[in-house]
């Protein structure tokens, strides 16, 4: 039976979800088209001479990879020209680009998992869409999602009424609805955290929690690309954590284009998110590139983690 293409799905959604306007449908199609182009570059990077460093440091103080820059360019061009976007925020650009007074405001991480580009490990693009401004709590997002450039190229997104997944069909060039309803298992058996930082974590309770999971026969998986670690958590359950530590006192991940969109997806799929005290979707952004500690995943593990943090600090 033929799978439904993205555009047909969006027009069907328009009938049942008032947030889905023609403008939003056009915008999501623009993002999907830009990510298809990025996927093309990612899959031939070694042939295009776009591997390695661009020899620059970005506003995050991180070395920019050539593919980060290329992906950023592709997304900026698409969004600037689509005529539906009023404000564009990118991990790779210090200030938001104001395009017009009103419309959809988009924040994106053009390429997440940059440290994995040169070693051919899954990376992705993350996007968050608000009405008028991205400086709002994540709960107000109109849509959020990511494209993961893995063995398959998949678009996973939510329009505020559940989570769906599309797989890119290389022959037709269409994103086809391969996952009509992604729901997080109530409890998983995988935890995902960079344990190299264990002794630097500011929360003693977190160390106790991770040790507890080890007694509960959990396994550990950590790709180092948030998109890949969250995608696995969405499909298999468990917990993904990037905590605050002595070096990164607010954690490493950025609220606007990593934590907020991913928390939106995880909560829409039945899971929970927290910065250790509140849902990541309730945080009022005060800075474009602000960082937050990230605890997201299945309800059972997130609640248990928060119990340990409450108990042991």
225 binding partner (options ligand AHG, Mn ion, none; Cβ < 5 to 8 Å by kind): ligand AHG
Q: How far is the CB of 113 from ligand AHG (least distance, A)?
A: 4
Site for ligand AHG in 114-153 (CB under 6 A): 114-115
Q: How far is the CB of 114 from Mn ion (least distance, A)?
A: 5
Alpha carbon of 200 to those of 205, 248, 260, 291: distances in Å? 13, 9, 24, 17
Site string for ligand AHG, 70-99 (x = CB under 6 A): ---------------------x--------
Q: How far is the CB of 110 from Mn ion (least distance, A)?
A: 6
Site for ligand AHG in 251-280 (CB under 6 A): 252
Site for ligand AHG in 187-206 (CB under 6 A): 194
**How many C-alpha atoms does 121 have within 13 Å on its Cβ side?**
14
Q: Which stretch binds Mn ion (CB under 5 A): 84-92, 154-162, 201-209, 289-297?
A: 84-92
- On the 0-12 / 13-18 / 19+ scale of CB atoms within 10 A, 69 is middle
- For the record, the structure tokens of 133 come out as 């401004």
Answer whether 263's CB lies under 8 Å from 113's CB.
no
245 interacts with Mn ion by CB under 5 A:
no
Percent helix, strand, coil in the chain (nearest 5)? 40, 25, 35
Phi and psi angles of residue 238, each rounded to the nearest 5 degrees, phi first = 105, -155
Q: Please give the helix or strand (H or E) that residue 112 lies within, else none.
A: strand 104-112
109 interacts with Mn ion by CB under 5 A:
yes
User: How do 190-192 and 239-242 pair as beta strands?
Assistant: parallel
Nearer to ligand AHG, 30 or 109 (CB): 109
Q: Which stretch binds Mn ion (CB under 5 A): 5-13, 43-51, 102-110, 191-199?
A: 102-110
Residues 6+ apart with CB under 8 A from 191: 210, 213, 218, 219, 220, 238, 239, 241, 301
Q: How far is the CB of 39 from ligand AHG (least distance, A)?
A: 16
Distance CA 234, CA 49 (A): 34
Q: How far is the CB of 1 from ligand AHG (least distance, A)?
A: 36
Binding site for Mn ion (CB under 5 A): 91, 109, 111-112
Residues that bind ligand AHG (CB under 6 A): 62, 91, 109, 112-115, 194, 224-226, 242, 252
């Amino acid at each position: 039976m033929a799978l439904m293409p993205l555009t047909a799905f969006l027009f069907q959604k328009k009938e049942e979800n008032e947030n889905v306007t023609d403008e939003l449908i056009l915008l999501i199609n623009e993002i999907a088209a830009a990510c298809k182009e990025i996927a093309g570059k990612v899959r031939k990077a070694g042939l295009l001479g776009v591997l390695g460093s661009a020899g620059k440091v970005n506003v995050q103080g991180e070395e920019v990879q050539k593919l980060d820059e290329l992906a950023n360019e592709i997304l900026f061009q698409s969004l600037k020209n689509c005529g539906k976007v009023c404000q564009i925020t990118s991990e790779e650009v210090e200030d938001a680009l104001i395009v017009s007074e009103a419309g959809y405001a988009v924040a994106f991480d053009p390429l997440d998992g940059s440290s994995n580009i040169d070693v051919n490990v899954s990376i992705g693009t993350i996007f968050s869409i608000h009405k008028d401004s991205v400086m709002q709590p994540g709960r107000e997002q109109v849509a959020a999602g990511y494209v993961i450039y893995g063995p398959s190229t998949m678009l996973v997104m939510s329009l505020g009424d559940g989570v769906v997944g599309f797989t890119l069909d290389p022959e037709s060039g269409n994103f086809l609805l391969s996952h009509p309803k992604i729901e997080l298992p109530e409890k998983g058996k995988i935890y995902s955290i960079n344990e190299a930082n264990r002794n630097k974590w500011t929360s003693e309770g977190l160390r106790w929690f991770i040790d507890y999971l080890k007694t509960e026969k959990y396994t550990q998986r950590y790709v180092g690309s948030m998109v890949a670690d969250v995608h696995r958590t969405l499909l298999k359950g468990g917990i993904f954590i990037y905590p605050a530590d002595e070096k990164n006192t607010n954690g490493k991940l950025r609220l606007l284009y990593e934590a907020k969109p991913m928390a939106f997806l995880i909560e829409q799929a039945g899971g929970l998110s927290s910065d250790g005290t509140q849902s990541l979707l309730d945080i009022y952004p005060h800075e474009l590139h602000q960082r937050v500690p990230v605890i997201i995943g299945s309800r059972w593990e997130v609640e248990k983690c928060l119990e340990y943090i409450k108990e042991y600090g």
